[in-house]
Amino acid sequence: MLVAGNWKSNKSFNESMEFANAFAKLDAAPEGVEVMIAPPAPYLAAMGATSLPFRLGSQNVSATGPGAQTGEFTADMLAGCGVQDVIVGHSERRDGHGDDDETVAEKVNRVLEAGLRVVFCCGESLQDRQADVHFDKVLRQLESGILHLPAAAMDRVVVAYEPIWAIGTGLTATAEQAQEMHAAIRGWLAEGYDAEVARAIPLLYGGSCKPANADELFACADVDGGLIGGASLDPENFQAVVAAAGRAVAAEASNA
């Protein structure tokens, strides 16, 4: 299980460091649970130079390499700052910051070339779901974003299914809605690659996941963790989501 926090454009630098200190004092991540936080980009180098109680993630990366690209930061620069994971294709970047399918695919390539792990986001809008094209939409995003990758690269790919209508809205996909989309993604991966690759790729759910609903979502057979926005901003709240992932791991082990 992987529980990943996306702070978006929230928190001052001091608040970020305070979070890391407070989080380190809480229960350590349960066995079988990885924890990642993606703070705002300006804090990455300083945070990466300290000992953190979580993996360090970036919310974005340049689609290009080094050169005359004012304001961009490359995947190699992120790696040099101690970043381990990079979120690519978040709906807030696809919709508001020009990350079209081609750009997203380029960003995926840059992240993997730099030796980092990519957290590839996909998800449908409310209109897509109402028009009953949500499966097509998500599978098309996966096709254009990751299907070009060789199977050997897939051990550094995480997929986050994030229905856009559930992000930051307080609306959450039901466990059934999350499970059926995750099963479709797993099936698509098995067809495009093979059953082993499909089984090994962590599939995260994102969209108003919080302590009150994390147990139910993480209990789904094909949900391997969460990408958490609002509920990752407070150490205790985030730790409660991490603890829910620990319970899911323990339940799975006892059922095996």
Largest CA distance in the chain: 55
Query: What single string gives the DSSP state of each residue in 95-119?
Result: HHS---HHHHHHHHHHHHHTTPEEE
Question: Which residue, 108 or 209, has its beta carbon nearer to ligand PEP?
Answer: 209
- Nearest distance in Å: CB 190, ligand PEP: 25
Task: Determine whether 216 is an active site residue.
Answer: no
- Note whether 159 and 145 are within 8 A (CB): no
Report how far residue 136's alpha carbon sits from residue 154's, in angstroms, rounded to the nearest whole number: 22
Report how far residue 72's alpha carbon sits from residue 48's, in angstroms, rounded to the nearest whole number: 19
Question: Which residue, 64 or 125, has its beta carbon nearer to ligand PEP?
Answer: 125
Task: Determine whether 176 is an active site residue.
Answer: no
Judged by CB under 6 A, how many residues of this single chain contact ligand PEP? Answer: 13
DSSP 10: -
40 scored as a contact of ligand PEP (CB under 6 A): no
44 scored as a contact of ligand PEP (CB under 6 A): no
39 scored as a contact of ligand PEP (CB under 6 A): no
CA distances (Å), origin 181, targets 76, 170, 174, 195, 225 = 33, 19, 11, 17, 14
Report how far residue 137's alpha carbon sits from residue 3's, in angstroms, rounded to the nearest whole number: 25
149 scored as a contact of ligand PEP (CB under 6 A): no
Rg (CA), the chain: 17
Site for ligand PEP in 176-215 (CB under 6 A): 206-209
Task: Spell out, one character per residue from 218 to 237, where the chain touches ligand PEP: x when CB under 6 A holds, - when not.
Answer: ---------xxxxx------
59 scored as a contact of ligand PEP (CB under 6 A): no
- Nearest distance in Å: CB 111, ligand PEP: 17
Taking CB under 6 A as the criterion, the residue among 162, 173, 203, 217 binding ligand PEP is 162
**Chain positions contacting ligand PEP, by CB under 6 A:** 6, 162, 167-168, 206-209, 227-231
- Residues belonging to the active site: 90, 162
